[in-house]
Structure 1
Amino acid sequence: MLLSSNEFLPRAEATLAGLKGPVSAALSHHGEPSVSSLAREFPKDAPLSPSALVQALCPGPLSPIGFAAVVMREVLPRVDAVLDASVAEPTVVTGNARASGGLRVTAPLVVLGDLEVEGVLEDCGPDSTVVVVGCCTAWGLKTSGNFLVLGDLVVRDVIQGIYNDDSLVVAGDLTTRFLDENDHDVSSYGEVHAEHHFENGRSGEEAASLASTFLVPELWNLDLGELHHDDLFERIQRGEPVFTATPQPQQRREPDAPTAEELEGLDVEGIAARASKQARAKDVVYAQRRTGEVWLLRPGSFPMHIFDGQRFLGEGPPPALDVKQRASERVTFWRKRGDLFLEIERFGAVIQLHVGINNGSLKTFRFAFETSDAAASEVRRLEARYTGDFLRVTSVIPGRGPLEREFAHYGGPKAEYTSAIVDGTTLVTRDGERHPFEDEAAALSALEDWIAAKRQAGFDLKILEWKPFGLLGRR
């Protein structure tokens, strides 16, 4: 059936005069509905199909498309429809619509009756404007576009808003177990019934901490300050549990800075005064009360200062070392709090100690010993010193991603950079090389050869970092 401007617009005038209550408020969320907003979409003396009118009004604010849907409901015969797994072209269902599984909407969808989705309903803004004149039900709703429901919205498990460009607007009641507005505009002109409600503007760390009380542990990460929404909706679609059987104690991320307990008994003011005229006690990023060790770092101002409990490391001239050879051994530690790392390289009787912060400052210290055995013993001592405070890692930072080593060469006309990670059993470099091996140990051995070759070419370690900050990690 085609829509004629001669018939449709007068009906729109009458409909507009009768709008009131929550429906009127919802339609006005993006501005007052008007007949003129519909009239300009009709070609002169030519009718439009319902889907063509919808396409002409999208993308755009909800008021015109929502108003058009209300008018269409009054003039079009009701025909129910069963929707496939996706809606990829402008679609108008004049009756009720039902999807027997998940539904992904990538084009405007208007349902003049009720919409029932037996799975996860996902839109893809801004091209996927969804309007439901009746009620809408689903197992989960993941919305990044404009989504308007003029009846009630009932989502069994989770509603998540994504991006702040568009809106989820409900004229009736909004009911779900977990509503995460994230940074999306979510507005209900009825009542909101949500067992767990994270409002717009919540921080990632706050969300992960609160979610630890009711979501299964696989769906949140305190260290990254993240909820794993993709995994959450995949589990809902597969019919797997996403909520804990009973409320759990709230988990909180440990602070990056040392705690008062860790600093107790340490003369941080005195240590900072001895470190540098620029150093301040509040620049402490790590402290070990047991040994009296203190690390001081003011990002962008000075490199890391380490007081090991007795002296500052690196006060004397470093011993000479030809680091173009392959390292005798390598031990890497990572501390989630503050994203601090410590990497120990041994070259025979010489040890190099790299200390820094993810994607930030790095300081290298070098120490010589009388024999290789003495240097190896020192490596073991350092391992014991930091075990517990730091995690020993090889290729992945737990809860974060691949460990990436970036090297820099400043000897030419312009600085050069390169990096590498071990991804499972494959050595991957920023130069686009991928070298598969039988196991991780073989890949790590190849990484040592790669490092030695880069140093022979004049490169030095610039930083350690983990995906997603590393350039290679964004490949």
Structure 2
Amino acid sequence: MSEVASEATFDAAAVRRAAATICAGQAAACEAAGIPDDSHRLARLVRSDFGSYRELAAALRHECHPDLLPSIPRLCAAALGDTGTARTLSGDQQLADPFFHHGDLVVEGDLDVEAPLVVTGSLTVRGLLADCGPDSVVVVGGGVTARGVFTDGDMCVLGDIEAEVVHGYYNDHTLQARRIRARLVVEDEHATIATVEAGLHFDLDDYQQGYGDGVQERLRALLVDDVFTADEDEEDGKEMFDHAALLARMRAGLPVFRADTDPGPR
């Protein structure tokens, strides 16, 4: 990023106390539900001798199990207490190093995440939020608001995601949120754990890598022609929806929805 990540004093004892409380709560909930207790992942994580919250965030590159990630912003917020701040970063931001912020974070342009990012509050991106798995891990304690969300890594949002487009790609990672509200949501071989409210939503079974029944026709009715490109796997050069073309067009600030379409639930 063009600006240095905000630092917070790291108190290992406070972190471990907070982790113990969270683990005890998870263990009790799992026992009541009759399901295996997975709190050991958090207990193992905090045994490490971290020197900062950025170091803790960096460890998520190797400890990013979907069951662990929701505990991370809760852990950090509990250890730090009521010391969070609101921070705004101007312009487009490229995150190449681990980044931690306690509180709400606003990015006035696009945010490209290529490393672990932990925000204990909400994340507002005026442009596009795009990650880069497996190097990236995005964990947000509040909600996420952006023009578009493009993920092929692990992304865990404890609140809601609100965007025009939410696109998940690649099958090794997971998108988690309480709720996703968007005009278009596509799960392209990418596990999504959330309630989805969308004008058009293709889940894993519907989408079938773009070859599902009626997928291209329904996308054609919603999106401009520029986001469809020739598919090299099609002998006749048939044009198919291209999420990279959609991303590029949105980055350029160009419209992607046909003018005569319903703006949907946002």
Query: TM-score interval w.r.t. the shorter chain?
Result: 0.7 to 0.9
**Cα distance between partner residues in 2 of 1:37 and 1:93:** 23
The answer for the alignment partner of 1:183 in structure 2 is 189
Alpha-carbon RMSD across the aligned residues, in angstroms, is 2.4
Give matches, 1:184-263, under 5 Å: 184-188=190-194, 191-201=195-205, 202-203=207-208, 204-206=210-212, 207-221=215-229, 223-224=237-238, 226-246=240-260
The answer for the alignment partner of 1:13 in structure 2 is 20
* Cα shift at 1:239: 2.7
* Cα shift at 1:244: 1.2
Give matches, 1:29-428, under 5 Å: 32-34=38-40, 35-40=42-47, 42-43=48-49, 48-59=51-62, 60-76=64-80, 77-83=83-89, 84-155=92-163, 157-170=164-177, 172-188=178-194, 191-201=195-205, 202-203=207-208, 204-206=210-212, 207-221=215-229, 223-224=237-238, 226-246=240-260
Letter in 1 for 2:59: A
Mapped contact 1:99–1:116 kept (Cα < 8 A): yes
Mapped contact 1:205–1:224 kept (Cα < 8 A): no
Give matches, 1:433-472, under 5 Å: none
The answer for the alignment partner of 1:464 in structure 2 is none
Mapped contact 1:54–1:65 kept (Cα < 8 A): no
**Cα distance between partner residues in 2 of 1:115 and 1:69:** 12
* Cα shift at 1:19: 5.7
Secondary structure in structure 1 of the residue aligned to 2:97: coil
1:390-449 Cα deviation digits (max 9, x unpaired): xxxxxxxxxxxxxxxxxxxxxxxxxxxxxxxxxxxxxxxxxxxxxxxxxxxxxxxxxxxx
**Cα distance between partner residues in 2 of 1:65 and 1:186:** 14
Q: Structure 1 residues 239 and 173, CA, compared in 2 at 3 Å: closer, same or farther? A: same
The answer for the alignment partner of 2:33 in structure 1 is none
Mapped contact 1:205–1:226 kept (Cα < 8 A): no
* Cα shift at 1:51: 0.6
Secondary structure in structure 1 of the residue aligned to 2:147: strand
Q: Structure 1: any 5+ residue segments left out of the alignment? A: 25-30, 249-475
Letter in 2 for 1:78: G
**Cα distance between partner residues in 2 of 1:200 and 1:221:** 22
Mapped contact 2:23–2:43 kept (Cα < 8 A): no
The answer for the alignment partner of 2:4 in structure 1 is none
Identity %: 31
**Cα distance between partner residues in 1 of 2:13 and 2:259:** 59
**Cα distance between partner residues in 1 of 2:22 and 2:219:** 44
**Cα distance between partner residues in 2 of 1:64 and 1:186:** 16
* Cα shift at 1:115: 0.1
* Cα shift at 1:79: 2.4
Mapped contact 1:135–1:150 kept (Cα < 8 A): yes
The answer for the alignment partner of 1:335 in structure 2 is none
Secondary structure in structure 1 of the residue aligned to 2:182: strand
1:291-327 Cα deviation digits (max 9, x unpaired): xxxxxxxxxxxxxxxxxxxxxxxxxxxxxxxxxxxxx
Letter in 1 for 2:160: D
**Cα distance between partner residues in 2 of 1:33 and 1:210:** 42
* Cα shift at 1:18: 4.3
1:230-289 Cα deviation digits (max 9, x unpaired): 2212222333221112259xxxxxxxxxxxxxxxxxxxxxxxxxxxxxxxxxxxxxxxxx
Mapped contact 1:38–1:68 kept (Cα < 8 A): no
**Cα distance between partner residues in 2 of 1:18 and 1:168:** 24
Secondary structure in structure 2 of the residue aligned to 1:169: strand
**Cα distance between partner residues in 2 of 1:193 and 1:228:** 23
Mapped contact 2:15–2:46 kept (Cα < 8 A): no
The TM-score normalised by the length of structure 1 is 0.45
Count matched residues: 231
Higher relative contact order (CA 8 A, sep 6+): 2
Secondary structure in structure 2 of the residue aligned to 1:71: helix
The answer for the alignment partner of 1:346 in structure 2 is none
Secondary structure in structure 1 of the residue aligned to 2:204: coil
Mapped contact 1:113–1:135 kept (Cα < 8 A): yes
Mapped contact 1:38–1:64 kept (Cα < 8 A): no
Q: Looking at CA atoms only, which structure, 1 or 2, has the larger radius of gyration?
A: 1
* Cα shift at 1:221: 4.9
Q: Structure 1 residues 11 and 144, CA, compared in 2 at 3 Å: closer, same or farther? A: same
Secondary structure in structure 2 of the residue aligned to 1:212: helix
The answer for the alignment partner of 1:431 in structure 2 is none
* Cα shift at 1:15: 2.8
